[in-house]
A and B are shown apart, each in its own frame.
Chain A
Amino acid sequence: MSTLRVSLLLTGWAVILIAAEPPWKSKPTAGWTGEDARQVLTDSPWAKTAKAMISPLQTEDQRREGGNMGQPHGVGFDGLPDDRPRVQVPKSVIDIVKPESAVPALRPSLTLHLRWESALPVRVAELKSHIVDSPTLPDEGYSLAVYGIPYAPLNGDSRTLGDSLKKQAVLKRAGKRDVRPSSVKALQRDDGLVIVYVFPLSAEISKNDGHIEFDAQVGRIAIVQSFDLGEMEFHGKLEL
Chain B
Amino acid sequence: MTRNLLLSAVVPACIAFQIGALPWSALAADASGGVGGIIRDSVTGLPLAEAQIVVRNPDRAGRRTTVSGTNGFFSIDNLEPGRYEVLATKDGFKNFSADVEVAAQRTARIDLALALSDSGTSTHDGPAAVNAQALTVVKELEAMKSRIEQLEAELKATQEKQSGAVTPSLDEASNLAPQTKAPPNPVAPSSQNPVVPNAVDNFTPFADYDWTWLNGNPRNKDVAYDSKFFTPEIRADVTYTYDFNKPSDDSISGSSEIFRSNEIQLEQLGVGGDFHWDNVRARFMTQFGAYSTTTVRNDPSYAKGQWNLGDADRQLAEAYGGYHINAMHGINIDAGIFLSYIGLFSYYNFDNWAYQPSYVSSNTPWFFEGLRVQIFPTHHLKIEPWLINGWQSYASANTRKGLGGQIKYTPFPWMNIISNNYGLGHDDLYIPNRSRIHTDDSIEIKYYDKPGFGLDKMALSFTGDLGCEFGGGVSCHGDTKGGPKQSFVGYMLYNRFWFHRDLFGFTVGGGQINNPGRYLVLIPPINGATAPSAAMNSPYFTGNPGDPFKAWDTSMTFDYMPKQWITFRFEGDYRHASVPYWSGAGGITPPPGTNNGVPTQYACMNGSASGQTVLSAATASCAGMGGVWFPDLRRDEAFFDIDILVKF
In the complex formed, the residue of B with least CB distance to A235 is B133
Residues of B within 8 A of A220 (CB): 199, 201
Indicate whether A127 sits within 8 Å of B218 (C-beta atoms), given known contacts A62-B206, A96-B566.
no
Determine if B134 and A237 form an interchain contact, defined as CB atoms under 8 angstroms apart. Answer: yes
Most buried by B among A49, A64, A69, A123: A69
Name B83-127 residues within 8 Å CB distance of A. Answer: 99, 122-126
Inter-subunit contact A148/B141 (CB<8 Å): no
**B182 & A167 in contact (Cβ 8 Å cutoff):** no
Report if A201-B122 is in contact (Cβ < 8 Å); known contacts: A115-B183, A130-B179: yes
Instruction: Tell me the bound Cα distance from A128 to B172 in angstroms.
Output: 16
Q: Which residue of A lies closest to B174 (CB)?
A: A130
B226 contacts A87, C-beta separation under 8 Å? no
Task: List which B3-40 residues lie within 8 A (CB) of chain A.
Answer: 6-7, 11, 14-15, 17-18, 21
State A84–B6 Cα separation when bound (angstroms): 67
Within 8 A of A (CB), among B441-461: 451, 453
CB–CB A108/B190 < 8 A: yes
Do A66 and B562 touch across chains, with their CB atoms under 8 A apart? no
Q: Which of A84, A98, A124 contacts B222 (CB 8 A)?
A: A84
Say yes or no: B225 contacts A237, CB within 8 Å.
no
Known: A86-B225, A130-B173, A140-B124. A59 touches B332 (CB 8 A): no
Nearest A residue to B566 via CB reads: A96
Does chain A have a CB within 8 A of B163?
Answer: no
Question: B500 to chain A: which residues have CB within 8 Å?
Answer: 102
Q: Does any Cβ of A come within 8 Å of B244's Cβ?
A: no
Give chain B residues whose Cβ lies under 8 Å from the Cβ of A98. 562
Within 8 A of A (CB), among B248-275: 273-275
Would you call A154 an interface residue if the criterion is a C-beta within 8 Å of the partner chain's C-beta atoms?
no
Given contacts A34-B178, A130-B174, whether A41 and B183 have CB atoms under 8 Å apart is: yes
Q: Which residues of A contact B46 (CB under 8 A)?
A: none
For residue A51, CB closer than 8 A to chain B, the reply is yes
Give residues 150-183 of B contacting A (CB, 8 Å). Answer: 170-171, 173-174, 177-183
Cα A84 to Cα B225 in complex, Å, equals: 10
Give the CA-CA distance A124 to B217 in the complex, in Å: 55
Chain A neighbourhood of B170, CB < 8 A: 132-133
Q: Judge whether B207 and A69 touch: CB under 8 Å.
A: no
A61-B218, A67-B382, A69-B274 given; A38·B179 CB < 8 A: yes
**B536 at the A interface (CB under 8 A):** no
**Is B18's CB under 8 angstroms from A106's CB?**
no
Chain B 622-648, CB within 8 Å of chain A: the 1/0 string? 000000000000000000000000001
User: Is A60 a contact of B226 with CB atoms below 8 Å?
Assistant: yes
Q: Establish whether residues A224 and B197, one from each chain, have CB atoms under 8 Å apart when the complex forms.
A: yes
The residue from A34, A68, A129, A164 contacting B324, defined by CB atoms under 8 A apart: A68
Query: B185's contact among A73, A97, A148, A168, by CB below 8 Å, is which?
Result: A148
Residues of A near B99 (CB, < 8 A) are 236
A55 to B204, CA, bound (A): 11
Are A60 and B141 in contact (CB-based, < 8 A)? no
* Docked-complex contact B144 and A60, CB < 8 angstroms: no
Check B231 against A167 for contact (C-beta < 8 Å). Answer: no
Complex Cα spacing A217 to B204, Å? 10
Q: Are B140 and A14 in contact (CB under 8 A)?
A: no
Interface size of A by CB at 8 A reads 98
Contacts of B185 in A (CB 8 A): 147-148, 191-192
Q: Tell me the bound Cα distance from A111 to B99 in angstroms.
A: 40
A70 at the B interface (CB under 8 A): yes
A232 contacts the other chain (Cβ, under 8 Å)? Answer: no
- Chain B: interface residue count, which band? 35 or more
For the residues of A in contact with B, the DSSP-based class is mixed
What distance in Å separates the Cβ of A63 from its nearest Cβ neighbour in chain B?
8
Q: How far is the CB of B111 from the nearest CB of chain A, in Å? A: 14
Determine whether B565 belongs to the interface, using a CB cutoff of 8 Å to chain A: yes
B residues less than 8 Å from A51 (CB atoms)? 193, 195-196
Does B189 sit within 8 A of A, measured CB to CB? yes
Within 8 A of A (CB), among B559-575: 560, 562-566, 568
Binary CB contact string for chain A from 188 to 222 against chain B (1 if under 8 A, 0 otherwise): 01111010000001001000000000000100111
Given contacts A68-B324, A141-B124, contact A81 B211 (CB under 8 A): no
- Give residues of chain A (102-132) contacting chain B, Cβ–Cβ below 8 Å: 102, 104, 106-113, 115, 118, 120, 123-124, 127-132
Residues on the B chain within 8 Å of A58, using CB: 204, 207
Contact B123 A140 (CB under 8 A): yes
A162 at the interface (CB under 8 A from B): no
State whether A29 touches B137 (Cβ < 8 A). Answer: yes
Kindly state the separation between the CA atoms of A147 and B191 in the bound complex, as whole angstroms. Answer: 20
Q: Does B50 contact A (CB under 8 A)?
A: no
Contact A108 B191 (CB under 8 A): yes
Also in contact, A109 and B124, with CB within 8 A (given A47-B183, A66-B204, A66-B206): no
CB neighbours (8 Å) of A112 from chain B are 186
What residues on B are CB-neighbors of A118 within 8 Å? 124
A57 an interface residue at 8 Å Cβ cutoff? yes
Take A47-B183, A62-B206 as given contacts and tell me if A109 and B141 are in contact as well, using a CB distance cutoff of 8 Å.
no
Tell whether, in the assembled complex, residue A11 and residue B382 are in contact, meaning their CB atoms are under 8 Å apart.
no
Q: Determine the chain B residues whose CB is within 8 A of the CB of A102 once the complex forms.
A: 453, 500-501, 503
A210–B379 Cα distance when bound, in Å, is 31
Q: Does A99 contact B (CB under 8 A)?
A: yes
Known: A130-B177, A150-B186. A67 touches B374 (CB 8 A): yes
Q: How far is the CB of B178 from chain A (nearest CB, A)?
A: 5
- Chain A residues whose C-beta falls within 8 Å of the C-beta of B222 in the assembled complex: 57, 59, 84-86
Query: How does the 8 Å CB contact mask read for A77-101 relative to B, with 1 for contact and 0 for none?
Result: 0001100111100000000111110
Contacts of B177 in A (CB 8 A): 34, 129-130
Per-residue interface assignment for chain B, residues 36 to 50, with 1 indicating a CB less than 8 Å from any chain A CB and 0 otherwise: 000000000000000
Q: Are A111 and B226 in contact (CB under 8 A)?
A: no
The answer to whether A127 touches B179 (Cβ under 8 A) is no
**A46 on interface, CB distance cutoff 8 Å:** no
Given contact pairs A100-B563, A111-B187, A59 touches B131 in the complex (Cβ within 8 A): no
User: CB of B228 within 8 A of chain A?
Assistant: yes
A-B contact pairs, 24 of them (CB 8 A): A7-B11, A8-B11, A14-B18, A18-B21, A49-B183, A51-B195, A53-B196, A53-B197, A53-B198, A61-B218, A62-B206, A65-B217, A66-B207, A66-B379, A67-B332, A71-B228, A87-B224, A96-B566, A99-B503, A106-B192, A107-B199, A113-B186, A127-B148, A131-B181
4 closest A-B pairs by beta carbon, nearest first, are: A70-B276, A129-B179, A113-B183, A222-B199
Chain B residues engaging chain A, CB cutoff 8 angstroms: 6-7, 11, 14-15, 17-18, 21, 99, 122-126, 131, 133-134, 137, 140-141, 144-145, 148, 170-171, 173-174, 177-187, 189-193, 195-207, 211-212, 217-218, 220-226, 228-229, 231, 233, 273-276, 281, 283, 324, 326, 329-332, 374, 376, 379, 382, 451, 453, 500-501, 503, 560, 562-566, 568, 648
Beyond A34-B179, A237-B125, 10 additional contacts (C-beta under 8 Å) are: A11-B18, A14-B14, A59-B223, A61-B217, A68-B204, A111-B187, A112-B186, A129-B181, A131-B174, A147-B182
Chain A contact residues, CB within 8 Å of chain B: 4, 7-8, 10-11, 14, 18, 29-30, 34, 37-38, 41-42, 47, 49, 51-71, 73, 80-81, 84-87, 96-100, 102, 104, 106-113, 115, 118, 120, 123-124, 127-133, 140-143, 147-148, 150, 164, 167-168, 189-192, 194, 201, 204, 217, 220-222, 224, 235-239
